[in-house]
Amino acid sequence: MERLQKVIAQAGVASRRKAEELITSGKVKVNGQVVLELGTKVKPSDEIEVNGIPLEKEEPVYFLFYKPRGVISSVKDDKGRKVVTDFFPELKERIFPVGRLDYDTSGLLLMTNDGEFTNQMTHPRYHIPKTYIAKVKGIPSKTQIIQLQKGIKLEDGMTAPAKVKMLSLDKRKNSSIFELTIYEGKNRQVRRMFEAIGHPVLKLKRERFAFLTLDGLSPGDSRELTPHEVKQLRHLSQNGNQR
Ligand code: URA
C-alpha cells in the first residue's frame, strides 16, 4: 500500500506537492470515488483517475535543459506563451520542470516525469547548490557583497549564506557581473537579493545545478541525464551538502 499523493507523483502527473493539491481540490478519484483525504493508501490494483484521466505508470525520464530567456517554466500557459515542454515535441512521457526559472532567466533546468525526484531536488531541506551569473545595475560595495554572502532580509525571511564573487565591472556602462551560489530556492531569490541591496538584476542565467553544467549545449538544447548522474543527485539530496 502506498500513499495516494506518492503514487500520483511517481506516475509523472505532478510533483508531490501539486499531487496533494489535486487531491484536496477534489480532482482525484479512486475506484470511481472522489478522495479528499491526503493520507489515503492505495494498492496497485486500485484504479486512480486524475482530472478524469486514468493513471498510467510511465518509465521515469530525466533531462538537462538549457532554458532560453522568454520561456515559461510550466507545461502550459493561459496566455499562449512558449513553455519549456514545447522544446520536447516528440517525447511521449509527460515531463515537467524541476523547480523553475523566471520567464526572463536562462540556463540549466532539469525536466522529468518523476515527482519524487522533483521533490528531493526542490525541497529546501536538501540544500542543492545552484550557481547563477547575474549582470546587475551599478557596482555594489564590499559591504553590500558581504551582506549578500551572510544573508539578507527578504519579505519571506532571511536568505541562507551564499557564495558571491564579482567577475567583472564596467564603470562606463555602470554595471557589474557576479557569480552567485545559493543553496535554497525562494521565489525570484537572486533578483530579490540584488534588489534588496539596490542593484537590480539586468540579466540572469543559471550556470550550474549541483555538479551539472551547460557544457556543450546552446539555448533550447537538452540532453538526457545519465543513470549515474541521477544517482549522484539523489545521493547529494539524501546526504546533505557541504557548504
Ligand atoms: N532567482 C531568480 O531571481 N530567478 C530565477 O529564475 C532563479 C533564481
pLDDT category at 43 given cuts 50, 70, 90 is confident
Catalytic hit among 46, 78, 102, 215: 102
Q: Note the pLDDT tens digit of each residue in 74-90.
A: 988 889 999 999 999 99
Indicate if the pLDDT at residue 243 is higher than 50. Answer: no
- How far does the centroid of ligand 1 lie from the alpha carbon of residue 49, in Å? 34
- How far does the centroid of ligand 1 lie from the alpha carbon of residue 82, in Å? 18
Residues with Cβ within 8 Å of 215's Cβ and at least 6 positions away in sequence, in order, are none
- How far does the centroid of ligand 1 lie from the alpha carbon of residue 48, in Å? 35
The pLDDT assigned to 124 comes to 73
Is 114 annotated as catalytic? no
According to DSSP, the β-strands at 163-170 and 212-213 are unpaired
Ligand 1 nearest atom to the CA of residue 201, by list position: 3
Q: pTM of the full predicted structure?
A: 0.81
Q: How far apart are the C-alpha atoms of 184 and 181, rounded to whole Å? A: 9
Who has greater pLDDT, 43 or 205?
Answer: 205
Q: Note the pLDDT tens digit of each residue in 90-106.
A: 998 889 999 999 999 99
Helices (H) and strands (E) in the chain, counts: 6, 17
- How far does the centroid of ligand 1 lie from the alpha carbon of residue 41, in Å? 36
pLDDT category at 198 given cuts 50, 70, 90 is very high
Ligand 1 nearest atom to the CA of residue 191, by list position: 3
Indicate if the pLDDT at residue 50 is higher than 60. Answer: yes
pLDDT category at 59 given cuts 50, 70, 90 is confident
Q: Note the pLDDT tens digit of each residue in 64-75.
A: 999 999 999 998
Mean pLDDT of 4-18: 87
For ligand 1, atom 7: residue with the closest CA:
101
The mean of the pLDDT values for the chain is 93
List residues bridging with 67 in a β-sheet: 107
Q: How far apart are the C-alpha atoms of 152 and 137, rounded to whole Å? A: 18
The pLDDT assigned to 241 comes to 52
Q: How far apart are the C-alpha atoms of 24 and 50, rounded to whole Å? A: 12
pLDDT category at 242 given cuts 50, 70, 90 is very low
Q: How far apart are the C-alpha atoms of 181 and 128, rounded to whole Å? A: 10
Cβ of 195 closer than 6 Å to ligand 1, yes or no, is no
